[in-house]
Amino acid sequence: MTGGSRTQVVVVGGGPAGAVAALVLARRGAEVLLLDRARFPRPKPCGQFVGPAGARLLGSLGLWEAVRGAGARPLAGMRIEAPDGSVLLGRFPGGPAAAGLDSPPAFAVNRESLDAALLDRARLAGVRILEGLRVLDVQAGASHVVVQGLAGRRVLTLRAEWVIGADGRHSAVARAVGLRRRLLRLRRFGILADFADFPGAARLAEVFVGRHAYCIVNPLPDGRACVGLVTDWRVEACRAGLSDLLAGQLAAFPSVARRAAGARPVGRLYGVGPLAFRRELPGVGRALLVGDAAGFYDPLTGEGVTAALQTGALAGGLLADGLAAGAQPAEVQAAYAASRRRLLGPRWRFLALLQAVVRRPGLACSIARYVERHPGALAALMAAVADAVPAGPPARGDGYVPRLGPPATGPGWRLAGHA
């Protein structure tokens, strides 16, 4: 066992949440070590869509050029098909160009390429990255944390002031610090598949609402597409092979099934579920959770990567403030919990409302027909889907700090950029 490499912050997980959290901290002068059990680039189950709020954030961080270089495909809007065949075509409003940011309203991108690009930018910002290390244990004490990991046959011991868990739905950090996962009433199961030569891949994200499921199609570069199907969680159905389950469920979406039949599957199929859970808290002591590690909600409008980016930037900015001000862990935790709730709470409530509509096909069809006849209603729907309230510009040129108001508990330090 090695005896004690030290750093200020250890980030566990190299996906979008971890990479952005580490990058924001490093730009603010923190010493950061990022760990991941994988070696990049690596495949990852994902809808591979980044919505307007995520695109705005990447633009404000100056990361769009790196993402474009990773093969991102700009998307102008969304096509939504109701169970009765009614079709809504909506454009994402505003977009980063309206705020002077060089990035598109939304985009689709291969997760392998996106994650590698964000990690490269974090490395350029000064983040030390250690790949191929599996976290065995995290001990969060009153004054420091100790992370034990396995790299090959070597057991490493790392000491830091803080740890950020960005290690996904089955977070080792969350388990180690005792933050249990609570499943929500919404029980859904998802299947993800990539196809080459997929017909009709336009510059729109597509959502097909069925009677007991929904299907998404996100166009990727070079004529490829990501197809995702989400249905009710049923253990007996999930025992079937993923290929058979996907084929059976796609039968309810004949237009997508026809297009998939004319395409070539690439890579492996992924099954993910249940698709909705929360942690008791998004952090405790000297540990913060970001991205899927802290909670996840059924991604009907493509929330996963965007929420990861947002919470990673939020945690990184708040922790950098806390380190600079010498704040107590309880103050940082209170600020993060309150700001994360302010950021994601309204969004999750909106998604819960959409899920209630989707689960009532008659209501979904009626709403679709109404919105189809009223352009103002369609614009309002697209604004809500796009989460079109700007997250605010960077507080300064060295990193993004969300302007979300002071922590509810009122500690003796403030977020950067606040009056």
Q: Mean of the pLDDT values across residues 286-306?
A: 85
Highest mean pLDDT: which of 296-300, 312-316, 398-402?
312-316
Which tens digit of pLDDT belongs to each residue from 193-223?
Answer: 999 999 887 788 999 998 778 899 999 888 8
Q: Mean of the pLDDT values across residues 29-46?
A: 90
pLDDT over 70 (residue 234):
no
Read off the amino acid at residue 368: A
Q: Mean of the pLDDT values across residues 293-322?
A: 89
Query: Of 109 and 297, which is predicted with more confidence?
Result: 109
Q: CA-CA distance, 86 to 109, in Å (whole number)?
A: 28
Q: Give the model's confidence band at 409: pLDDT under 50 very low, under 70 low, under 90 confident, else very high.
A: very low
pLDDT over 80 (residue 144):
yes
SS (H, E, C) 167-214: CCCCCHHHHHCCCCEEECCCCEEEEEEEEECCCCCCCEEEEEECCCEE
5-75+110-183+278-359 belongs to which CATH class?
alpha beta
Query: Tell me, what's the pLDDT at 239?
Result: 60
Q: CA-CA distance, 23 to 14, in Å (whole number)?
A: 11
DSSP 256-325: HHHHHHTSEEEEEEEEE----EEES-SEETTEEE-GGGTEE---TT--HHHHHHHHHHHHHHHHHHHHHH
Query: Tell me, what's the pLDDT at 230?
Result: 87
Which tens digit of pLDDT belongs to each residue from 367-378?
Answer: 888 888 888 888
Query: Tell me, what's the pLDDT at 399?
Result: 41
Q: CB of 64 within 8 A of CB of 42?
A: no
Among 250, 281, 32, smallest CA distance to 161 is for 32
Q: Where are the alpha helices (DSSP H) in 28-110?
A: 52-60, 64-69
pTM comes to 0.87
Query: Tell me, what's the pLDDT at 312?
Result: 97
Read off the amino acid at residue 182: R
pLDDT over 70 (residue 99):
no
CATH topology of domain 188-272: D-Amino Acid Oxidase; Chain A, domain 2 (3.30.9)
Q: Mean of the pLDDT values across residues 394-406?
A: 39
Q: Give the model's confidence band at 415: pLDDT under 50 very low, under 70 low, under 90 confident, else very high.
A: very low
Q: Mean of the pLDDT values across residues 168-176?
A: 91
Q: Give the model's confidence band at 101: pLDDT under 50 very low, under 70 low, under 90 confident, else very high.
A: low
Query: Tell me, what's the pLDDT at 386?
Result: 76
The residues spanned by each domain of the chain are 5-75+110-183+278-359, 188-272
Which helix (DSSP H) or strand (DSSP E) does residue 12 occupy? strand 5-12
On average, the pLDDT of the chain sits at: 83
Q: CA-CA distance, 207 to 214, in Å (whole number)?
A: 7
Query: Tell me, what's the pLDDT at 2?
Result: 47
Highest mean pLDDT: which of 13-17, 41-45, 147-151?
13-17
pLDDT over 60 (residue 286):
yes
